[in-house]
Amino acid sequence: MLDIQLCAASVLGDTLAGRNLSTAFEEGFRRHPSLSPGERSVVREICYEGLRSLGLLEAQLGRLLLTPVRHAGLRSLLLVALAQLQFTRAKPYAIVDHAVRAAERLGQPAARGLVNAVLRNFLRRHDDLGRAAWNTPEVKFGFPAWWIQKLREECPARWEEVVAAENRHPPMTLRVNRRRTTLGEYLECLAAAGIEARALGEMAVRVDPRPVSEIPGFAQGLASVQDAGAQWAARLLDVSDGQRVLDACAAPGGKTGHLLELAELDVLALDNDPARLGRIAENLGRLGLQARVECADAGQPGQWWDGRPFQRILLDAPCSASGVARRHPDIRWNRRPSDLPRFAARQAAMLDAVWQVLETSGKLLYATCSVFREENESVVEAFLFRQPGARLLKLHPGAPDGGRIWPDDDSDGFYYALLEKR
């Protein structure tokens, strides 16, 4: 448990310092190479639960300390231990004992007594330090105050449902590859493997979370992991055989693969992150599909466009990712209100850029995984004002109302707008 605590404290500390959670995990596991796969899973569980309840943990720690802890690593260790005491089944005495030893490993031997006192005091005062005793948004809802206020203003009728959904464990949803099997056949395949499943849509199936190695036919391309809400993107773009399609921000390639499962297409998949391009090729290879994959900034067509227009464009624009905060709990604490106009400006610039390469009568699907209007409806409304030749199309029956998918038990949060060039 000692190395688990130290690794989790390292990951949590790096994340609170502004590092992306995935990168923080990679660095933490590099620092602790002896951790087994099972122990790494425990580290992930602690950090995810710790970040979801960070407001509560920080409030509790503040009440348990006479003066703030200045050493960042020691503070992260205390937060990790508090998370373990509340959200894991490990024995409290073992958590406390290992945390005391971990303090010495952090180069803080003088803090052994402090760590012991704080954690034992928490165990004595657990009832009065529970969530119910706090009324701040950070503690009550697990989100920063500005985030809660913005949700209350923009979706007053359902903001509490959205927050509750964003604090639950995310669902695991599969996309059945229609080129290789049918929904019914794959449901039978899952049943034969003893896996309970529930159909959510045309090719979407929800299962209990598990490693992909346990998913029947995954390695053979029978199914992919993709949120049910994300599966609307390819369907809404309305592709057909022979079309030239641009996937403007393609990594890791889930939507690219879905498009190619729906029709025989000439697809150009772009992403400006070289490290993520391999994921696109990996996913397409597993599915037995092909696309041209290039490392390029979609907002700079002069770098990659060959002059031939596209019939369809998918712009899954970079955004705050506020609709997938339950999958990336670091987002809620590392985002700032000032980030939203910055994202909106970038989204507008990318829309204007890729619009140039869309043929007349062609369609562009603007997509985000944000719940905030500033990155969604406001971006599209401003674009329509700048581009008189653009028309906002109604989505087909059964599609998300107004292009909005709010986070719920079965889906993350998304926004879609289908635009036609006249």
C-alpha span between 171 and 324 (Å, rounded): 11
292 burial (CB, 10 Å; 0-12 / 13-18 / 19+) is exposed
Q: Which two tokens stand for residue 361?
A: 């009568």
Instruction: Enumerate the active-site residues.
Output: 369
Do residues 43 and 11 make contact, with C-beta atoms less than 8 angstroms apart?
Answer: yes
SS3 of the chain: the string is: CHHHHHHHHHHHHHHHCCCCHHHHHHHHHHHCCCCCHHHHHHHHHHHHHHHHCHHHHHHHHHHHCCCCCCCHHHHHHHHHHHHHHHHCCCCHHHHHHHHHHHHHHCCCHHHHHHHHHHHHHHHHCCHHHCHHHCCCHHHHCCCCHHHHHHHHHHCCCCHHHHHHHHCCCCCEEEEECCCCCCHHHHHHHHHHCCCCEEECCCCEEEECCCCHHHCCCCCCCCEEECCCCCCHHHHHCCCCCCCEEEECCCCCCHHHHHHHHHCCCEEEEEECCHHHHHHHHHHHHHHCCCCEEEECCCCCHHHCCCCCCEEEEEEECCCCCHHHCCCCCHHHHHCCCCHHHHHHHHHHHHHHHHHCCEEEEEEEEEEECCCCHHHCHHHHHHHHHHCCCEEECCCCCCCCHHHEECCCCCCCCEEEEEEEEC
Q: Given strand 223-225, what is the order of strands in its sheet?
A: 197-199, 204-207, 172-176, 223-225
Do residues 50 and 80 make contact, with C-beta atoms less than 8 angstroms apart?
Answer: yes
CB-based contacts of 124, cutoff 8 Å, min separation 6 = none
Do residues 312 and 246 make contact, with C-beta atoms less than 8 angstroms apart?
Answer: yes
